[in-house]
Amino acid sequence: MAATVTNTFAPGVNTSFSTELNENFDDALKAAPEFVAVYTGSGYDTSITLSASTSEEASYEFSSLSSDDVNNRDYLVIQVSGTHTLDMDCGAGGNGIASSQFKIQTKEIGGSYSDSLAYVSLHALPCIGDQTDSMNHTSSFSYIHTLSAGEKSNGVQVKVFSKADVTRNTAPTDSMTATFTNIQTSLKLI
């Protein structure tokens, strides 16, 4: 006669195990990244087309995030997606550069803005000699800002800037164009 194996399960639920699972799930949800703002407007688009050196700067200020919003978070991710268009027509003996640049400022509520990320050139197009060149790129970049103790306790506000810049080093540079167009800029707490 063959041996019989019997498993006996007690009715009901092991409540200590299910409580532990629920607590772990709640902790995981609290730690998950949270989008707090998405901006798709044109408030900080920039464009400059000139035969001389100059730049155009624009900015957009996000609504403030309260201390409750940033509670138990350490970082704020600023992600920018945009289109950069740069055109150069140098002409004989011309020399210059067109660029699109970006910077981020933050402040704790009640404080003053300071650069979290100073201007960086996202795209640049040099022009040397008798040439015509252009570029049109759509790209994204992310910047991770570490929240200060003051930003955590008082809340934080973010301001983003773009700058279209053209620099003519040597005449005759016939024309230069630099443009930044926002597609989407988002803030995410982690």
Backbone phi, then psi, for 33, in 5-degree steps?
-60, 145
Q: Is the pLDDT of residue 43 over 90?
A: yes
133 vs 60, which has greater pLDDT? 60
Q: Is the pLDDT of residue 103 over 80?
A: yes
Token duo for residue 161: 């800037």
What was the pLDDT predicted at 117? 98
Mean pLDDT, residues 107-111: 97
Instruction: Please state, in angstroms and rounded to a whole number, the distance separating the CA atoms of residues 58 and 177.
Output: 16
User: What are 145-179's pLDDT values in tens digits?
Assistant: 999 999 999 999 999 999 999 887 766 656 788 99
Largest CA distance in the chain: 104
Q: Is the pLDDT of residue 84 over 70?
A: yes
Q: Is the pLDDT of residue 11 over 70?
A: no
Closest-CA residue to 147 (of 72, 84, 56): 72
Choose which CATH entry (1.10.20, 1.20.120, 1.10.3470, 2.60.120) describes domain 34-189.
2.60.120
Helix (H, G, I), strand (E, B) or coil at 96: strand
Radius of gyration, CA atoms only, the chain: 26
Q: Is the pLDDT of residue 28 over 80?
A: no
E strand residue ranges, 26-74: 34-39, 46-50, 54-61
173 vs 60, which has greater pLDDT? 60
User: What are 114-132's pLDDT values in tens digits?
Assistant: 999 999 999 998 877 777 8
Q: Which helix (H) or strand (E) holds 23?
A: helix 15-31
